Amino acid sequence: MRADYVNLVNTHTVPVRFMYHSPETLEEALRLMREYGGEARVMAGGTDLIVDMKLRRKEPKHIVSLNKIRGIEYIVEEDGGVRIGANTKLRSIEKNSIVRERFEALYEAVRSIASVQVRNMGTLVGNICNASPAADSAPPLLVYDAVVKARSIDGERKIKIRDFFKGPGKTCLKDDEIVTEVFIPYPPGDSASTFFKISRVSMDLAKVNIAILVKLSSNVVEDFRIALGAVAPTPLRIPKAEEYLRHKPLNEENLNIVEKIVSEEIKPITDVRSTEWYRREVSKILVRDALNSTIKKLVRT
């Protein structure tokens, strides 16, 4: 085989030389990240990282696996919300009753990711750290105002999820930081939330995904939050649409204006999954469908 052979397909081979570190404590993992800095990558489930390495999109010289570290796999209610540890598998989140009952949009998003096999390996934290603009957990975490906790040897910092994503594949994490948990505050009482996704086939990243949260008082919108994915370089909250709809009645005229604002605020591109035109058009329909579905949930409760 030629030495300059470049692997362009997703085969079973990882054509990258690397050192695999399997620390048993978080402190040891943090020391390794400090030592190897930009040459190291954290690995949780590996469902993104290994694919990227097979395709040579990432070529880390060191992998720091979180798999043997105890104490970072949990879902606990605390301080007005739920804390989800970095090693917590998507499948555990999907099966968790707190998530299912109180964070409907997150539950619906997690359930939509890949297959049971992938969800048994992949983590929520890996999903956001991978920073795909189409990451399905991102829109719900954005509407819930989640907080990401990152640690380095120097200590911990808390990052609002709105500030976390910096571009395709880019987050605000420093080279030596490891995300240890995501904290998700409870949504406002009497609110409901919904996640919708359009993709080519069920086991695929979204062409467009959306999460919304609504709280109504009679037919007037008290709280409205909306976030979309795969329509810009990062998953996006749409504050202009939120401000417009708050304190207004939920009628056809206002719905049309919200759809219009959303289609103007997003910055979709054409890629292998979809076209700019389709993404802009389908976003409007998703706004309407997600709102209707959320209202139905509110009426039921």
Ligand X SMILES: Cc1cc2nc3c(=O)[nH]c(=O)nc-3n(C[C@H](O)[C@H](O)[C@H](O)COP(=O)(O)OP(=O)(O)OC[C@H]3O[C@@H](n4cnc5c(N)ncnc54)[C@H](O)[C@@H]3O)c2cc1C
Q: Does 33 sit near ligand X (CB under 6 A)?
A: no
Shortest Å distance, C-beta 150 to ligand X: 7
CB of 16 to ligand X, least distance (A): 14
CA distance 171 to 232: 15
44 binds ligand X (CB under 6 A): yes
Closer to ligand X by CB, 67 or 275: give it. 67
Answer yes or no whether residue 127 interacts with ligand X by CB under 6 A.
yes
- Each residue of 217-251: b (16+ CB within 10 Å) or e? eeeebebbbbbbbbbbebbbbbeebbebbeeeebe
Question: With binding defined as CB under 6 A, does residue 238 bind ligand X?
Answer: no
Question: Considering beta carbons, is residue 178 or 236 the nearer one to ligand X?
Answer: 178
Contacting ligand X within 53-72 (CB under 6 A): 66
**Binding flag, residue 234, ligand X (CB under 6 A):** no
Size of interface with ligand X, in residues (CB under 6 A): 31
CA 258 to chain centre: 23
Query: Under the criterion CB under 6 A, does residue 104 sit at the interface with ligand X?
Result: no
Q: Does 45 bind ligand X (CB under 6 A)?
A: yes
Sign of CA dihedral 173, 267, 112, 54: negative
CB-based contacts of 300: which residues, under 8 Å, 6+ apart? none
User: Is the CB of 135 or the CB of 287 nearer to ligand X?
Assistant: 135
Determine, following the binding rule CB under 6 A, whether residue 176 of this chain makes contact with ligand X: no
User: Segment near ligand X (CB under 6 A), from 100-108, 117-125, 230-238, 270-278?
Assistant: 117-125
C-alpha–C-alpha distance, residues 150 and 130, integer Å: 15
Q: Rule CB under 6 A: is residue 236 a binding residue for ligand X?
A: no
Q: Which is nearer to ligand X, 205 or 291 (CB)?
A: 205
Choice from 29, 30, 32, 86 touching ligand X (CB under 6 A): 86
- Beta-strand runs (E) in the chain: 19-21, 40-43, 62-65, 75-78, 81-85, 147-152, 155-160, 165-167, 170-171, 178-185, 191-199, 206-217, 220-229, 236-237
Residue in the structure block whose two tokens are 């292998």: 272
Sheet with 19-21, edge to edge strand ranges: 19-21, 62-65, 40-43
Q: For the segment 187-216, give every residue that binds ligand X (CB under 6 A).
A: 203, 205
Question: Contact, 183 vs 83, CB < 8 A?
Answer: yes
What minimum distance in Å lies between the beta carbon of 119 and ligand X? 8
What value, to the nearest 5°, has the Cα angle with vertex 235 and ends 127 and 49?
A: 25
Q: Does 126 bind ligand X (CB under 6 A)?
A: yes
Tokens of 88: 């917590």
Candidate list 30, 82, 129, 290; residue touching ligand X; CB under 6 A:
129
Nearer to ligand X, 5 or 20 (CB): 20
Q: How far apart are CA 153 and CA 248, in angstroms?
A: 48
Provide CB contacts within 8 A for 155, sequence distance 6+. Answer: none
Q: Should residue 114 be labelled a site residue for ligand X when binding is judged by CB under 6 A?
A: yes
The least CB distance from residue 205 to ligand X, in Å, is 5
The nearest distance, CB 90 to ligand X, in angstroms, is 6
Given the rule CB under 6 A, which residues bind ligand X? 41-49, 51, 66, 86, 90, 113-114, 118, 121-123, 125-127, 129-130, 135-136, 173, 178-179, 203, 205
